[in-house]
Amino acid sequence: MPREILSREEAEQSLETIRSVLAKTTRYTHISWVGVTFAGFQASVAALIGWAVPVHPESSPRAFLALWSGAMAAAFLTGFLTTQRKARRAREPYWSRKLEVVSVGLLPAFVGACLLTAALAVAGRLDLAPGLWMVFYAVGILSLGHVLDWEFQLTAWSFLLAAAAALFLLPGSPHLAMFCGFGLIHFLLGLYRCFKERPCPLK
Amino acid sequence: MPPQVNIAEFQGLNPVIHERSRLALMTYLISAGETSFSDLKRDLFLTDGNLNLHMRVLEKHGLVKVQKAFVERRPRTTYLVTEKGIRAFEEHVSVLERILKSGRRGGARRKSSSSTSPRLER
């Protein structure tokens, strides 16, 4: 016998289905663990070069900026290529509405970081740059909290902690601060994403 | 016994969309826009057969549009919700909301009047 009435519980369940699917569709999942790990590796190599040469922000500000701009550009390029590869494997277009949301969301933080870096360079205070880069990076990620998985939010808070350490505990060691922030935290995030994205080898 | 609503409200629900998997598919397509078969399958945990079946029903009723293309020499099927689909979905959601609202009103009334009838506003 067909049912003639719909219970309130069923209506609630239907709306819950809609809510959970909406939450899923806004998630951006194409960030590859390879790209994140490689960003950590590049930051570590740049920190090692900066420490070994040495490239100090006060005595050689141009070399300091060139070193870290190069590391950032390399990390960006790797991120672009690995994300594109992941999208291609899933037979999806690289550029999507979600990627647009991510890019537009990160843009203000990126522009803000560039402006402040220029101001710090003019004022001769590039020693503060690592901590402030981490703050901007964290704020950019946090602004995308609704489209990224929870581990990215944790990463952002870790970057804020690393920024506090860079500004107040390690003011004379910019490369160590950069290694702890952009190197180590990216490594940890990449490791977690690796386990999350790849099937468990023990199964 | 849970509070229930009258038949007129139930008749406002679209039976094609009301099925749980199709409701999820419509929600996904309206929110994400054009979406590939693999994306829908992965995110909504549907099998190939299930997804094909539900998409065929939605397509038959003119709620979604199928687009087939080749990307780097590989076949790629994407789905897009139609104008009719958007209208049907909006109507369906508003009926669900009405059901919930009338359920709440009924719950409050029953408390105050100590009525035993589970039915509301006929």
Check B24 against A17: CB less than 8 A apart.
yes
Check B31 against A22: CB less than 8 A apart.
yes
pLDDT for A85: 83
pLDDT for B69: 83
pTM of the model: 0.65
CA dihedral B76, B22, B48, A83 (to 10 degrees): 50
Selecting from B2, B10, B43 the residue whose C-beta is nearest the C-beta of A9 gives B2
In a domain, B122, yes or no: no
Number of domains comprising chain B: 1
Q: Does ipTM top 0.90?
A: no
pLDDT for A40: 94
Domain coordinates of chain A in residue numbers? 30-196
How far is B60 from chain A, CA to nearest CA, in Å?
A: 22
For residue B58 the two structure tokens come to 């939605």
Selecting from B27, B76, B93 the residue whose C-beta is nearest the C-beta of A21 gives B27
For residue A78 the two structure tokens come to 């790797």
Check B28 against A18: CB less than 8 A apart.
no
Check B10 against A17: CB less than 8 A apart.
no
In a domain, B120, yes or no: no
How far is B59 from chain A, CA to nearest CA, in Å?
A: 20
Output B12 or B64, whichever has higher pLDDT. B64
Averaged pLDDT for residues B81-100:
90
pLDDT for B60: 95
In a domain, B97, yes or no: yes
The domain in which residue B32 lies consists of 4-115
pLDDT for A93: 67
State the pairing for strand pair B74-81/B64-71: antiparallel
In a domain, B68, yes or no: yes
Check B6 against A5: CB less than 8 A apart.
yes
Question: Which residues in chain A land under pLDDT 50?
Answer: 1-4, 201-203
Residue of B nearest to A10 (CA): B96
Reply yes or no on whether the pLDDT at B109 is more than 50.
Answer: no
Question: Where residue B54 sits, what CATH number does that domain have?
Answer: 1.10.10.10
Output B117 or A171, whichever has higher pLDDT. A171
Chain A residues closer than 8 Å to B18 by CB: 14
CA distances (Å), A75 to each of A89, A177, B8, B55, in order?
21, 17, 59, 40
Output A85 or B63, whichever has higher pLDDT. B63
pLDDT, one tens digit per residue, over A106-125 is: 899 999 999 999 999 999 99
Q: In the predicted model, what is the mean pLDDT of chain B?
A: 77
CA nearest to A93, candidates B1, B39, B94? B39
Q: What angle do the packed helices A150-164 and A186-197 form, to 10 degrees?
A: 170
pLDDT for B119: 32
Residue of A nearest to B71 (CA): A91
